[in-house]
A and B are shown apart, each in its own frame.
Chain A
Amino acid sequence: MPTKKLPVGILGGKCKVLIQENKIMPNTYELVCGLEIHAELKTASKMFCGCKNDPFHAPQPNTYTCPVCLGMPGALPVANKKAIEWTIKLGLALGCKINLFSKFDRKHYFYPDLPKSYQISQYDIPFCYDGVVETSEGPVRITRIHLEEDTGKLLHRSVNGAEVSLIDFNRSSVPLIEIVSEPDIKTASQAKEYAKKLRQIIRYLDIADCDMEQGGMRLEANTSLRVVGEQGLPKYKVEVKNINSFRFLEQAIEFEMQRQAKLLDAGESIPQETRGYNATEGKTFSQRAKEDAADYRYFPDPDLPPIRFTQAQIDGFTADLPELPAAKAARWGREYQIEARFAEPLTAEKDEAAVFETLFSQAQTQKLDCNKLASSVYNKRITWPTAESIEKTLMEFAAQFKTDTVDTSQLEQAVEKVLAENPDVIEKFKAGNMQVLGFMMGQTMRQLGGIKPDPQLVRETIGKILKTK
Chain B
Amino acid sequence: MTNTHTMTLAQYLKGVAEKQFSPTEVTQAIQAEISKVNTDLNIYLTENEQAVQETEAGSAQPLAGAAIAVKDNISTKGMRTTASSTVLDTFVPPYDATIMTKLKAAGMSIIGKTNLDAWAHGSSTETSQYGRTLNPRNPEHLPGGSSGGSAAAVAADTCIAAIGTETAGSIRQPAAWCGVVGLKPSYGRVSRSGVIAMASSTDSPGPITKTVEDAAILLNYMAGHDKYDGTTSPQSVPDYTQALGKSIKGLKVGLLYQDIAGLEVVNPHIQAAAKVLEELGAVVEPVAAMDPHYAISVYTVVQRGEVSSNLARFDGIRYGNDRSFFGDEAKRRIMLGTYTLSKGYADQYYTTAQKVRTAFMQDFQKLFSNYDVLISATSPSFAKKIGVSENAAMFGELEDMLLEPSSITGLPGINVPCFHDTTTNLFIGLNIMAPMWREDQVITVADAYEKATSWNTWRKV
Contacts and interface: CB of A to CB of B under 8 A. Distances in A.
B200 A67 contact: no
Nearest to A66: B95
A121 to B, nearest CB: 13
B343 interface: yes
Interface in A419-464: none
Contact of B95 (A67, A108, A117): A67
Contacts of B341: 108, 297-299
A106 B311 CA distance: 13
A74 B197 contact: yes
B331 to A, nearest CB: 16
Interface in B225-240: 227-231
Interface in A286-311: 293, 295, 297-299, 301-305
B230 A73 contact: no
Given A78-B227, A110-B312, A115-B318, A73 B343 contact: no
B309 A299 contact: yes
A67 B197 CA distance: 14
Nearest to B318: A1
A333 interface: no
A303 B230 contact: yes
Interface in B66-115: 73-75, 81, 83, 88, 91, 93-95, 97
Contacts of B200: 301-303
B231 A305 contact: yes
B195 A74 contact: yes
Nearest to A297: B341
Nearest to A116: B313
Given A78-B228, A78-B229, A297-B346, A73 B93 contact: yes
Interface string B295-336: 000000000011011001111011100000000000000000
Given A73-B83, A73-B88, A73-B93, A303 B312 contact: no
Contact of B312 (A3, A118, A299): A118
A297 B229 contact: no
A384 B81 CA distance: 63
B338 A297 contact: yes
A61 interface: no
B315 A110 contact: yes
A76 B228 contact: yes
A383 B338 CA distance: 65
B196 A73 contact: yes
User: What is the size category of the interface that chain A forms with chain B?
Assistant: 20 to 34
A71 interface: yes
A76 B188 CA distance: 13
A72 interface: yes
Interface string A56-87: 00000000001110011111111100000000
B347 to A, nearest CB: 11
A305 B200 CA distance: 11
A322 interface: no
B312 A72 contact: no
Given A73-B88, A76-B193, A78-B230, A302 B201 contact: yes
Contact of B306 (A76, A117, A295, A302): A302
Given A78-B227, A116-B313, A73 B81 contact: yes
A293 B343 contact: yes
A141 B317 CA distance: 41
B343 A295 contact: yes
Contacts of A216: none
**Chain B at the A interface: SS class:** loop
B350 interface: yes
Nearest to A67: B95
User: Which of A1, A117, A167, A301 gathers the greatest number of chain B CB atoms within 10 Å?
Assistant: A117
B92 to A, nearest CB: 11
Contact of A73 (B75, B227, B229, B308): B75
Contact of B196 (A74, A106, A116): A74
User: What is the size category of the interface that chain B forms with chain A?
Assistant: 35 or more
Given A73-B83, A74-B194, A297 B317 contact: no
Contacts of B83: 73
A299 B305 contact: yes
Given A108-B312, A110-B312, A299-B309, A76 B342 contact: no
Nearest to A293: B343
A70 B429 CA distance: 41
A235 to B, nearest CB: 20
Contact of B346 (A115, A118, A299): A299
Contacts of A298: 341, 346
A50 to B, nearest CB: 9
B189 to A, nearest CB: 15
Interface string A310-342: 000000000000000000000000000000000
A295 B342 contact: yes
A167 B95 CA distance: 21
Interface string B182-217: 000000000011111101110000000000000000
A215 interface: no
A95 interface: no
B46 to A, nearest CB: 16
A74 B97 contact: yes
A112 interface: yes
A146 to B, nearest CB: 18
A303 B228 CA distance: 11
Interface string B3-14: 000000000000
Nearest to B203: A302
Nearest to A113: B317
A295 B230 CA distance: 28
Nearest to B350: A299
A73 B317 contact: no
Nearest to A294: B343
A117 B312 CA distance: 6
B200 to A, nearest CB: 4
A117 B315 contact: yes
B313 A73 contact: yes
Contact of A67 (B94, B230, B319, B342): B94
Contacts of A293: 343
A72 B228 CA distance: 13
B93 A303 contact: no
A119 to B, nearest CB: 11
B147 to A, nearest CB: 16
Interface in A109-136: 110, 112, 115-118
B91 A116 contact: no
B231 A303 contact: yes
Interface in A2-40: 3
B343 A115 contact: no
A112 B95 CA distance: 22
Given A117-B313, A118-B312, A297-B309, A73 B346 contact: no
A77 B193 CA distance: 9
A71 B313 contact: yes
Contacts of A67: 93-95, 194
A301 B97 CA distance: 20
Contact of A77 (B97, B230, B312): B230
A74 B309 contact: no
Contacts of A75: 95, 193-194, 228
Contacts of A115: 313, 318
Nearest to A112: B317
A116 B195 CA distance: 15
Interface string B371-399: 00000000000000000000000000000
Contacts of A108: 309, 312, 341
A76 B91 contact: no
23 contacts: A3-B317, A66-B95, A68-B228, A72-B95, A73-B75, A73-B197, A73-B314, A74-B74, A75-B194, A76-B192, A76-B193, A76-B229, A78-B228, A115-B313, A116-B312, A117-B313, A295-B342, A295-B343, A297-B343, A297-B346, A299-B341, A301-B200, A304-B231
Given A74-B193, A298-B341, 4 more contacts: A73-B313, A74-B75, A110-B315, A117-B315
Interface of A: 1, 3, 66-68, 71-79, 106, 108, 110, 112, 115-118, 167, 293, 295, 297-299, 301-305
